[in-house]
């Protein structure tokens, strides 16, 4: 029961954050997506590539046993630019594949140990790491999108108070 709740919540969060990123990308042009406000900062586009690489490596490779094809340096490279539609398609494909893996993951596997770039971790730790990392960078993308557009993206509407 607890394992199923954890997996379902993880799937919900990855799906929700992907939708937030899609909303952000839809409000920006290519120049804004790939702009680096400062040389020590990443562009929104680089953050999206980084999220896709991280999900593919940690869930696809570490949990599902797929070959690790990640090129982490490329995620942050200045010349990694692609069209916004291709960037979004890359993210959608990666997240939908990860969601399928999680939907088919038996909850008893959450305590299994798997190899990651950081050593042996439980499957639960890997998923927790990925979802937290995804939310962290989604927050950065949302913040930068709000800064660039001046818009309230309306991702959260507080409940109406009864009078």
Q: Within a domain: residue 162?
A: no
CA-CA distance, 163 to 149, in Å (whole number)?
34
Question: Which residue range is the domain that position 82 belongs to?
Answer: 2-149
Q: Is residue 140 part of a domain?
A: yes
pLDDT in tens, 18-75: 999 999 999 999 999 999 988 888 999 999 999 999 999 999 999 999 988 888 878 7
Look up residue 125 and give its two tokens.
């730790």
How many domains does the chain divide into?
1
CA distance 47 to 19: 15
CATH number, domain with residue 64: 1.20.120.450
3-class SS of residue 33 = helix
58 belongs to a structural domain? yes
> Does residue 7 contact residue 19 with C-beta atoms inside 8 Å?
no
Q: Is the Cβ–Cβ distance between 63 and 37 less than 8 Å? A: no
DSSP-assigned letter for residue 108: G
In this prediction the pTM is 0.92
Q: Is residue 161 part of a domain?
A: no
End-to-end CA distance of the chain: 38
């Amino acid at each position: 029961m607890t394992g199923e709740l954890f997996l379902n919540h993880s799937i919900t969060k990855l799906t929700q954050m992907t939708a937030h990123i899609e909303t952000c990308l839809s409000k920006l042009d290519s120049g804004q997506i790939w702009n680096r406000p400062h040389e020590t900062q990443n562009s929104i586009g680089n953050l999206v590539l980084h999220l896709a690489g991280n999900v593919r490596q940690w869930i696809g490779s570490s949990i599902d046993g797929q070959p690790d094809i990640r090129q982490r340096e490329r995620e942050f490279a200045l010349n990694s630019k692609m069209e916004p539609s291709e960037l979004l398609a890359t993210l959608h494909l990666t997240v939908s594949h990860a969601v399928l893996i999680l939907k088919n993951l038996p909850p008893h596997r959450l305590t299994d140990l798997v190899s990651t770039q950081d050593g042996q971790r439980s499957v639960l730790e890997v998923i927790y790491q990925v979802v937290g990392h995804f939310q962290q960078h989604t927050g950065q993308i949302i913040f930068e999108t709000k800064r660039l557009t001046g818009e309230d993206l309306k991702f959260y509407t507080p409940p109406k108070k009864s009078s």
